[in-house]
Structure 1
Amino acid sequence: MTNTALSRLLTPIYAAGLTAYVAGLPIAGLASEDIADQYPQSELYSKPVEVIPHVFSAIGATAPPTYENAGHNNNLSFIVTNEGVVVINAGASDALAAALHAEIKAVTDQPVVLVINENGQGHAVLGNGYWRDQGVDILGHADAIAETQKNGDFILQRMQAYNKDRAGDSRMEHANLSFDDRYDLSLGGVDIQVLHLGPAHDPGDVQVWIPAWKIMIAGDIAFHERMLPIFPHTCTSCWIETWVEKLEPMAPTYVIPGHGHPTNLDQVRRYTLDYLNDLRSKIGVHIEDGGDLASAYYVDQQQWRGLDTFDELATKNAGRVFEEMEWE
């Protein structure tokens, strides 16, 4: 039976299971930054799970990167076909990349043929060296490659600072393949689209879309169990525009976000698009009322307190949106 035929047979079963899984648990029951390492025999924070047939993800901690989670605080995913495996995210170190590779080998005899960096952040790219040493090509968006070329030493040093001996021999290795808007790949009868839908969380954010299976490995355009971070270079109005004009019309059934468990579009919309709109609305009122940056940090975000990393990010996000909006 081909991958496509098997998927058509099993996808309804997985859809029902995933829907029940998401609907049956409150957000706090799915993830917490206080949960200790779930897979202590591995460098990975958790063992990969099969989200739908042939698509697996090792779900990272929703906490910031630490020595205890070895920097595995994002999702490391892979797609299995009968002509090879595509990996999404190289991992935050060569040790994490090797651990993920061991899990792939336990699932399939097919070789890894491509690794995709979802952006230019350390947990997406610092395992590139391991994969290049295996002879695997690395694909990244042009803007993400520009980011690693500009700030690669700092990205590596920051990981080495928290990861200490667990950093191993990791090095900054840039993606050797690049694209601007879209990269199409057909492997084992599976059509995979690697997309840059537009500006969002970070330069060169990538979304991996499998139309036949209605699954999007969304990367950091989509958050739900942890608060999204807004960086000094993040354009929140652009993020909203990209979401509304590009992501929504695609209407994926399944979403693997950059962080947190697999879910659906409604859930990530609530904690990404709705959060951005809510924060921008409150900062807009604050600016209209003559408020300054110092008091902008304390606009009311209590409805989002249940998200992991709220304490680390809420006030920073408010300040950065103020700095963005005061010149709009």
Structure 2
Amino acid sequence: MIRKTLLLALLAAPALASEDIPDQYPQSVLYEKPVEVIPGIFSAIGATAPPTYENAGHNNNLSFIVTGDGVIVVNAGANAALAKALHDEIRAVIDQPVKLVINENGQGHAMLGNSYWVEQGIDVLAHVDAAEEFADTSFQLLEGMKRYARENAQGTVAQGPTITFEDSYTIDMGDMHIEVLHLGPAHSPGDIQVWLPEQRFVIAGDIAFHERMPPIFAETCTSCWIETWETAFEPLGALYVIPGHGHPTNMDQVRRYTHDYLVYLRGKIGEHLENGGALDDAYYVDQSPYAHLDTFEELATKNAGVVFTEMEFE
């Protein structure tokens, strides 16, 4: 009981994450060494910053589950170098083969490492919408990654998932019962959640952010994201959460920095629209309660503009 209470306290406490913190694992291309969050579930926490040469594109969380009969990886990494580095860490932890890789969405840092894993003979699973998104954008994602990652991009080719699903995909492997879920529209097309009901543990993907501001894309439906959160994601009843970005924590923290941020920003833009405000001024609605989040400077005004465009004709 003492150990569980201590772990919950650590998960609840705000971790020290900053885009100014240097590489935490200089002997590896990974930004941080994987840590065991709860028994059998590890995550290499990415930088809470945009992708750069210094972090090699490891600015999301690369996780793996040791089942007792093989390993399941969640997120392929932004390039082959990151994928190999994660594989090396898995081999150092456990003498079990990787049997499946899961892409949390169709973004580059989730899928561009697929080519490494497929070359190892390992299947890659993703939602059908994420697969379609990657197919449409893979050239641009690959070229963009090559520009910032430089030599770390070597050996990376665009490779989509080898298995797709629509609503859910169940895995019973070793000691683990795992449900890969598409709960509804959220941050980007094909966002999925990896849910372990027996452990009350969710690897949330980009439906949930912690310590850094969520980016809102032109194709993001923020009202849909909020609805998915309220009707499907939070009702899972997760005790532990690995967000798409930021340190492992609990539901209260990711609600605070994701759901509550979206509700807040939509409220501010709604007030702006009611007062006859235009797009030029919408960029500067007050987002100061979230100014302490990493990537605030890069994203706050962009997010406001996107939400204004979304809400203007709602």
With the length of structure 2 as denominator, give the TM-score of the two structures. Answer: 0.98
C-alpha separation in 1, matches of 2:154 and 2:3: 38
SS of 1:19 mapped into structure 2: helix
Deviations 1:109-162 (A, max 9, x none): 110000000001110011100000100000010000001111110110010011
* Separation in structure 1 between the aligned mates of residue 298 and residue 178 of structure 2, nearest angstrom: 35
2:17 paired residue number? 31
Shift of 1:18: 2.5
Q: Indicate the residue corresponding to 2:241 in structure 1.
A: 255
1:132 to 107, 118, 121: 118
Distance 2:85 2:52 in 1: 17
Structure 1 residue 14, shift from structure 2 partner: 5.5
Asked if 1:311 corresponds to 2:300, the answer is: no
Does residue 15 of the first structure (1) align with residue 1 of the second (2)? no
Deviation string for 1:161-216 (max 9, x for gaps)?
A: 11111211101100010001100000003110000110000000010000000000
Q: Does the CA contact (< 8 Å) of 1:18 and 1:263 recur in 2?
A: no
The one-letter amino acid of 2:181's match is: L
Residue pair 1:14, 1:52 contacting (<8 A) in 2 also: no
Deviation at 1:20, TM superposition (A): 2.0
Aligned runs of 1:89-104 on 2, under 5 Å?
Answer: 89-104=75-90
**1:279-298 counterparts in 2 under 5 A?**
279-298=265-284
Aligned-partner Cα distance in 1 for 2:144–2:136: 15
Please give the alpha-carbon distance, in whole angstroms, between the structure 1 residues aligned to 2:62 and 2:167: 22
Following TM superposition, where does structure 1 have runs of at least 4 consecutive aligned residues deviating by more than 3 angstroms?
12-15
Residues in 2 aligned to 1:284 and 1:313: alpha-carbon distance in whole angstroms: 19
Q: Which residue of 1 aligns with 2:264?
A: 278
Which residue pairs with 2:48 in the alignment? 62
Q: Are the structure 2 counterparts of residues 95 and 135 from structure 1 closer, same or farther at C-alpha, using a change threshold of 3 Å?
A: same
Alpha-carbon separation, structure 2, partners of 1:124 and 1:14: 33
Q: Which amino acid aligns with 2:113?
A: G
Match of 1:266 among 249, 252, 255: 252
Aligned counterpart, 1:4: none
After superposition, the Cα gap between the structure-2 partners of 1:156 and 1:297, relative to the gap in structure 1 and judged at 3 Å, is: same
The alignment status of 1:224 with 2:229, answered yes or no, reads no
| Counterpart pick for 2:146 among 160, 179, 183 | 160
Count of equivalent residues: 314
**Distance of 1:15 and 1:275 partners within structure 2:** 29
Whole-angstrom CA distance in 1 between matches of 2:98 and 2:289: 42
Give yes or no for the alignment of 1:79 onto 2:60: no
Report the Cα distance in structure 2 between the residues aligned to 1:300 and 1:137, rounded to whole angstroms: 45
Contact 1:207 1:217 in 2 (8 A): yes
Write the distance in 1 (CA, Å) between the matches of 2:237 and 2:22: 34
Aligned CA RMSD, in angstroms, stands at 1.0
Structure 1 unpaired stretches of 5+: 1-11
In the alignment, which residue of structure 2 is the partner of 1:116? Answer: 102
Task: Give the C-alpha shift of residue 13 in structure 1.
Answer: 6.0
The whole-number CA distance in structure 2 between the counterparts of 1:30 and 1:191 is 32
SS of 2:124's partner is strand
- TM-score (ref. length: structure 1): 0.94
**Identity rate of aligned residues, in percent?**
64
Choose the corresponding residue for 1:47, options 33, 36, 42.
33
Q: Distance in 1 between matches of 2:3 and 2:198?
A: 15
Alignment equivalent of 2:165, drawn from 179, 188, 196: 179
Q: What one-letter code is carried by the residue in structure 2 that aligns with 1:18? A: L
Deviation track 1:206-260 (CA, whole Å, cap 9, x = no partner) reads 1000000000000000012000000000000000000000012111000000111
What secondary structure is seen at the aligned counterpart in 1 of 2:209? coil
Q: 1:71 is paired with a residue of what secondary structure?
A: coil
CA distance in 1, matches of 2:125, 2:85: 20
Q: 1:238 to 1:273 in 2, by over 3 A?
A: same
